[in-house]
Structures are given as C-alpha cells and as structure tokens.
Amino acid sequence: MRALRILVPVVLVGAVVAVVVSRFDVGEAIREVTLPLRHDDIIRQQAEEKDLDPAMIAAVIYAESRFRDDQTSEAGARGLMQVTPQTALAIAAETGGVTFEVKDLDDAQVNISYGSRHLRDLLDQYDGNTIAALAAYNAGSGNVDKWGGPALAIEDIRFDDARAYVEQVLEKTDEYRDAYADDLGLQ
C-alpha cells in the first residue's frame, strides 16, 4: 500500500512532464536562442512607416544588440538598435521631438523608431544602396563616402569589422525573412 502511495504521484508527475515536453517545440526554442525576435509589432509599424524591410530592421537589431534592450556601447550608443545620442538628438530636432531626452533611447518604441529613421536616412543618402547604408550605420557616413559612397560594394569596405557587420546583417535579413515571415508581416 505504501509503495502505491509513492508510485501514483510519481506516475502523475511523469505524465504531466510528458504532456509539457510533447507540447514543447524544440525547433521553436532553438530558433528563439539562435535567431531571437522581440518587438515585432514595433518593427512592423516602423517598417511600414519608413518604407523599410522589417526583416532588415530585425537583422540590424540582431547585429547591434541581439535583442537585448539594455545595451550601451563604449561610444554611448544605446538600446536595441544602438542609436548614438548625437544621432538621436539630430532626429529629434528634425522630427519635432521637443520632449526627447537621451534616456528615451532605452524605450523599445523610441529606439526602433529612431534607429529605423536613421537607416531610412542612410538608404536615401546612398541612393538605396543597402551595402552603403549598412556600412554607414556601422562605420559612419564619412568612411562610406571615402570608400565609394552610393557606389560602395562589400569589397570596398576597408574595415574588416564593418565588412563583417554588413555581411552579417544581409545574411540575417534573409534568415529573418525565412523564419519570421508571418511575425514580420511579410506574407
């Protein structure tokens, strides 16, 4: 009788664990670790508003912060898209953001909005050349202008880390497009 009292709870716990495990999507869990996506609603909104590929916004966020909101670089770039205070203040001035404070970059909505605006501005500046815009996002417009401006190709990027950044964002853009088409509104 005593063995039965021990065995029944053990069997019940085992059954519960089996049900939980059977409903756990291992592929989904792996994808969440290797290719995370958060704030997809904000990404979709900003992509539509700024005529950007939402998969590219997600890829920039991945490259900049791996979707961790609390990132601050040595240069002071903050948040998901690693927007510098200087860039943010310029965007706030251009868009009438009179109440903007640098600490607002810690808010996902503000950060993705300003980072997307900066990416859109760079794409416009470089005549839609994604490689040049991404290189400028990472290494600055001054460097991209020296390397070829709107005609920039990947092999023209003179900083290894900037070239690797551009290659990573382009690769991750394709991965986000494939893995998260529904979430990013690409269907």
The residues annotated with a catalytic role in the active site are: 64
Of residues 138, 81, 134, 130, the one with CA closest to residue 110: 81
Q: What is the three-class DSSP state of 148?
A: coil
Q: What tokens appear for 185 in the block?
A: 């509104």
Which residue's structure tokens are 């964002």? 169
Q: What is the three-class DSSP state of 65?
A: helix
In what helix (H) or strand (E) does residue 95 lie, and over which residues does it extend? helix 85-95
Q: What tokens appear for 13 in the block?
A: 């716990």
> How far, in Å, are 78, 80, 99, 115, 136 from residue 140 at the CA level?
16, 18, 26, 14, 4
